[in-house]
Amino acid sequence: MLALSAVAERKLTRFRNALLEMEEGGRGLKNQSEMLKRIGEAMDNAIAEHGKRAGSLAFYTALKMGAGTDDAYKLFWCGLLHDACKMFVNGNFIEKPHKLEQEEMEEVRMHVRIVHLVADRVKWLAGVEDAMRYHHENWDGSGYPNGLKGEEIPLAARIVGVVDAFDAMVDGKREYKKPLDYDEAIAELERASGTQFDPNVVRAFVEMFGERNEAQKAE
Ligand SMILES: [Fe+2]
């Protein structure tokens, strides 16, 4: 089992308190801007920024797949929080401007195995913890932590897997690699559709992204 550093313990307490406060506020999973701000502040900056973008993409993908507003909101929180536990693994490698070594990679992979540290105490995460735990599972069973396959992987985690990968590919702040432009990143998603990713999710994402892009251009 992973022993958390003193710094990580402090971050964990702060983060859990922010989530609990939201629960006490009785506001369920609705996107309240004040709550969002508090939780964002209790996360490391790079993780929060990536999470907000992933959350918004997950929200629109879920809508595209036919989810109602409440379920789509749930997907927003899944996207926002999916990588939160990276704050508690050593070194917080997401901030590092280099490609990860094998050992660092193993450490980062722990972030999906320590979700219970947060989810065990925060009831409203019940609808979100699957995405935190399984967003690195792959459609063909080659992912981690459990090697789940196809629809064994919870849908929320399949959606987050796609939006997470997309945002990582186009993110210009990961200095160790050149960001892809949108078309290149979409081509990558399509290439890995049916192996890494659920083909239905990729299809919905690509359609949704194209429509939103067109709409933004028209504004
Ligand atoms: Fe992750």
Q: How far is the CA of 58 from the centre of ligand 1 (A)?
A: 14
Neighbours of ion ligand 1 (CB under 5 A): 83
Token reading at 147: 């090697």
Q: Let me know if 217 is exposed, middle or buried by CB neighbors in 10 A (0-12, 13-18, 19+).
A: exposed
Max CA separation in the chain (angstroms):
52
SS3 193: strand
How far is 149 from 186, CA to CA, in rounded Å? 22
Q: How far is the CA of 218 from the centre of ligand 1 (A)?
A: 34
Question: Which CA distances in Å does 63 have to 89, 112, 118, 136, 174?
Answer: 33, 26, 27, 22, 29
98-107, 122-131, 209-218: segment of lowest average pLDDT: 98-107
Structural domains of the chain sorted by starting position, each given as residue range(s) with its CATH number in brackets: 6-218 (1.10.3210.10)
Q: pLDDT band at residue 184, thresholds of 50, 70 and 90?
A: very high
Q: How far is the CA of 23 from the centre of ligand 1 (A)?
A: 24
Q: pLDDT band at residue 52, thresholds of 50, 70 and 90?
A: very high
Q: What is the pLDDT of residue 30?
A: 55
What pTM, to 2 d.p., does this model score? 0.91
85-94, 102-111, 149-158, 196-205: segment of lowest average pLDDT: 85-94
